[in-house]
Amino acid sequence: MDFKKLKQFLAKDMRMSHVYQPVMIRNLLKNKGTANSAKIAKDLLAYDVSQVEYYQLITKNMVGKVLTNNRGITDKDGDSYNLNGFENLTKDQQKELIAICDSRIDEYIEKRGKNIWQHRRVSSRAIPGSVRYEVLKRAKGRCELCGISKDVKSLEVDHIIPRSKQGKDELSNYQALCYTCNAQKLNRDDTDFRELNKEFEARDKDCLFCNLPKKRIIDEDEFMKVIKDGFPVTKHHTLIIPKRHVADYFGLHQPELNSLNSMLQKHKDLIIKKDKTVTGFNIGMNNGVDAGQTVFHCHVHLIPRRKGDIENPRGGVRGIIPENKDY
């Protein structure tokens, strides 16, 4: 490609969804037109703020604490670290100490090999691209913990219950996390996942929804089951019910919330496909006696609505307190 065509591509024709293309071309231009993937990757890393943030966490939570609190080698001033006694070192002493650091780094890498970076490596059981797409689409391109957009910080697909704790490779056990939240989750999450797994098995022998006849269940996954309401408000009125015995929506864990949202979306689409008269939906749940709850096992109502099914639908769920419906 000649200069004019390359210039035209870079300046006008290149469609960018990230910085990758210009970074790679810049790298090739600086390396006489040839560079291996490792060199290009290093250039990309220079622009990846999330990588810097990850190692900032390592510095603050691990190495910085060891050298400052445990050893007294450094002290901390705000976000900066100072090497104690540095001002008393000669240039030759500094060079000698740097050489020792380099030597210790080389020795450690030679001894341990690539395993020292295993915590940053892509899993050997990679999540398929189609599943990753569904997780990121469900999260609407935002971190499900902090809410930051994928355009600001790259997102990763995380196992909510880790594989090491018998977490399953299922859509309901995945969440989209930004680089920083995923790193913080690894460092700070103290949930006893073994107990959480046991909790998902909780059933109540006297509970109506824990003991539904199989013939009533029209759909299910690992965490949810779906039935048609026994006393429907409208045609196709559907209930999505957690399999675990849990009192209300506020007691659901993230895998259950993911499953619930997936089932709501799936059955909304099925109802619309089946019944072209449906033009809207009410989604609701009663949490607590004073909110009208009578069966104390969480269940979510998916109620189809149709044009003209009531005289004035304005206000929707505000109608639970009739005098406050209008506004």
Query: Within 10 Å of residue 323's Cβ, how many Cβ atoms?
Result: 6
The DSSP H or E segment spanning 6 is helix 3-8
253 is catalytic: no
Using an 8 Å Cβ cutoff, are 224 and 263 in contact? yes
Residues with Cβ within 8 Å of 81's Cβ and at least 6 positions away in sequence, in order, are: 59, 64, 67, 68, 74, 75
- Give the Cα separation of 238 and 216 in Å (integer): 11
Q: Please, what is the Cα angle at 314 between 311 and 317, to 5 degrees?
A: 110
Sign of the dihedral defined by the CA atoms of residues 12, 14, 17, 18, in that order = negative
What is the identity of the amino acid at 134?
A: E
Please tell me which residue in 18, 237, 299, 301 is annotated as part of the active site: 299
Strand partners, 304: 281
- Give the Cα separation of 245 and 223 in Å (integer): 11
Tell me the catalytic residues: 299
